[in-house]
């Protein structure tokens, strides 16, 4: 990476940023404020653009439900269509209209949501009204000159007699009243109680003493009339929903325009975010950033030829936080996304993707380890590569699964699994032929189970040793040659010497090899104790740090190596499922 600095007229600032966006090779970075210059505050602009973009994204999600784009799964891997500048500008002019359409789409979606919520409310109300349909007076019955009608429910099974008996006990002075049971079940009893208007309060208190509760919704209609009214309203709402859904379905041709709007607004937000890192005066602006070395000279010439700009290309300082651009071949590039999930290497680090990619493909194949599944993966990814011709990250993803499929086929052949034991099942049950040996190397589901597990541990040790070697290389590169040798050699001796001893617990190891391994392991342990604490002060500090490093080495590498047994476990599961 090289550092690029640009000074140009303020009038051309937007055009310069547009040009850099289209080129896509410059990352504009923040810089120390230049004397007599100020930063632009674009936070409000970015916020407004993000709101519009979120609106467009929400509208696209609605259309994915009601008017999805037609296309096959393979079409989703095809590279996006490139736009000519003229077509881009035309679509840019249409962006306001497209955004208004997005608001319309969201409005129709909201109406549908509100209507469905209202239907649920009405259906719930009808369920509550269904127990009152036998009552031929309104639930909100008005009192007469001398009487009041109290309507409500008890939380248990009641009868006319039981209600009257309870009232006689709780309010013996109440005599002029009548009770009618409208609905009764084990958990609810609906009743209408007629009493004198002067006794209404006393009657209500007495009824409440044993659970009487008025209905949640009171209406001037009878329950039957209210229920019929709600049903009619539900029918009208369903028709409205149908009309709204039909309207949304008619927006199917807006999918591509909304896709463009989303990308356009993202570009616009990035542009204003870039302006936040720009220093300006009344007449000029200044920006700095980083550009890959191979694009630096060409980018500088284009800027100076197209605009009234001065461009300076320099090497970044040692203390500068330079962005990382990964560059790998088609074998390693597919796993770059996995590296990015954790942490990108620094400018002085090595790119781990080539080494990691090899082990990733090998271990994936061991875990899947079925030639039939691997063949399906290879066929599917090959079809996508040939027909869709994906680019960018999509191509990397497809290639990753292609290599994983090849590895899966390889290990399936080594372990004799093709859709499980489908070959022998067909031979024995349908062709009436004897079973044949399917595996080329080992049979994990047979007599070679423990041997396969040991090989998993061996591959794990190799994997870890490669990591140790990389660490040693980095120490050597940084000038710590002694540390590179002792830190690497001590772990190789300690772990490598202990490996045959541990393996002897499972399989037979010649005593001569075990004795040699024992002395190698002891030498490695001694080397760790004597050298791991070399940075500490004092002999006891060095010894204590060395013992602590030994403990970390033993516990850490033991657990790490044992974890590679999962390669066998997952491989067995795949075969059993197959």
566 contact partners, CB below 8 Å, separation of at least 6: 367
* Pairwise CA distance, residues 536 & 498, whole Å: 28
DSSP 307: S
Provide the pLDDT for residue 302: 94
User: With a cut of 70, which residues of the chain have pLDDT below it?
Assistant: none
Provide the pLDDT for residue 547: 94
Provide the pLDDT for residue 129: 92
Instruction: Encode 73-112 in three state secondary structure.
Output: CHHHHCCCCCCCHHHHHHHHHCHHHHHHHHHHHHHHHHHH
3-class SS of residue 373: helix
Provide the pLDDT for residue 147: 94
Provide the pLDDT for residue 468: 96
- 463-499 residues labelled b (16+ CB within 10 A) or e (exposed): bbeeebeeebeebeeeeeeebbebbbbbbbbbbebbb
The residue written with tokens 């090497």 in the block is 315
Provide the pLDDT for residue 577: 75
Angle at 36 between CA 35 and CA 41, to 5 degrees: 100
Provide the pLDDT for residue 506: 86
Provide the pLDDT for residue 216: 81
Tens of pLDDT, residues 76-85: 888 877 778 7
Please tell me the pTM assigned to this model.
Answer: 0.79
- Which DSSP string corresponds to 256-293? HHHHHHHHHHHHHHHHHHHHTT-EE-SSEEEEEEEE-H
């Amino acid at each position: 990476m090289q550092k690029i600095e640009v000074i140009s007229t303020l009038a051309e600032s937007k055009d310069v940023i547009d040009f850099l966006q289209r080129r896509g090779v410059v990352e504009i970075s923040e810089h120390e404020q230049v004397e007599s210059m100020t930063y632009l505050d674009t936070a409000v602009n970015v916020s407004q653009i993000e709101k519009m973009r979120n609106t467009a994204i929400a509208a696209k999600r609605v259309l994915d439900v009601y008017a999805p784009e037609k296309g096959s799964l393979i079409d989703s891997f095809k590279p996006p269509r490139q736009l000519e500048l003229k077509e881009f500008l035309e679509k840019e002019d249409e962006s306001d209209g497209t955004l208004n359409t997005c608001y319309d789409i969201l409005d129709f979606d909201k109406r549908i949501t509100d209507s469905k919520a209202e239907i649920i409310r009405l259906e719930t109300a009808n369920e509550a009204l269904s127990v009152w349909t036998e009552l031929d007076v309104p639930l909100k019955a008005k009192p007469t000159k001398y009487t009041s009608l109290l309507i409500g429910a008890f939380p248990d099974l009641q009868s006319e007699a039981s209600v009257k008996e309870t009232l006689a006990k709780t309010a013996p002075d109440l005599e002029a009243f009548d009770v009618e049971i409208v609905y009764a079940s084990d958990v609810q009893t609906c009743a209408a109680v007629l009493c004198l208007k002067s006794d209404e309060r006393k009657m209500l208190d007495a009824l409440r003493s044993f659970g009487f509760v008025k209905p949640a919704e009171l209406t001037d209609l009878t329950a039957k009339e209210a229920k019929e009214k709600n049903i009619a309203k539900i029918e009208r709402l369903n028709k409205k929903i149908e009309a709204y859904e039909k309207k949304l379905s008619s927006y199917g041709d807006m999918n591509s325009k909304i896709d463009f709007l989303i990308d356009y607004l993202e570009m616009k937000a990035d542009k204003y975010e870039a302006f936040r890192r720009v220093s300006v005066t009344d007449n000029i602006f200044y920006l700095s950033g980083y550009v890959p070395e191979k694009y630096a000279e060409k980018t500088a010439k284009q800027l100076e030829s197209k605009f009234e700009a001065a461009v300076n290309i320099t090497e970044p300082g040692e203390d500068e936080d330079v962005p990382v651009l990964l560059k790998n071949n088609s074998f390693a590039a597919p796993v770059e996304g996995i590296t990015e999930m954790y942490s990108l290497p620094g400018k002085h680090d090595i790119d781990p993707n080539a080494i990691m990619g090899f082990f990733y493909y090998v271990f994936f194949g061991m875990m899947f380890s079925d030639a039939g599944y691997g063949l399906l993966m290879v066929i599917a990814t090959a079809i996508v590569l040939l027909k869709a011709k994906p680019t960018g990250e999509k191509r990397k993803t497809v290639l990753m699964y292609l290599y994983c499929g090849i590895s899966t086929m390889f290990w399936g052949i080594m372990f004799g699994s093709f859709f499980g034991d489908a070959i022998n099942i067909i031979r024995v049950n349908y062709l009436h032929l004897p079973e044949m040996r399917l595996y080329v190397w080992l049979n994990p589901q047979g007599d070679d189970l423990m041997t396969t597990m040991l090989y998993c541990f061996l591959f794990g040790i190799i994997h870890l040793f490669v990591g140790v070697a990389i660490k040693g290389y980095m120490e050597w590169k940084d000038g710590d040659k002694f540390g590179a040798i002792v830190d690497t050699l001590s772990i190789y001796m300690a772990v490598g010497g202990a490996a045959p001893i541990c393996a002897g617990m499972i399989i037979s190891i010649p005593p001569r090899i075990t004795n040699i391994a024992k002395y190698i392991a002891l030498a490695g342990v001694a080397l760790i104790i004597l050298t791991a604490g070399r940075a500490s002060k004092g002999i006891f500090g060095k010894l204590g740090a060395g013992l602590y490093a030994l403990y970390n080495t033993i516990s850490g590498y033991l657990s790490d190596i044992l974890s590679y047994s999962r390669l066998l476990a997952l491989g067995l599961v795949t075969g059993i499922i197959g």
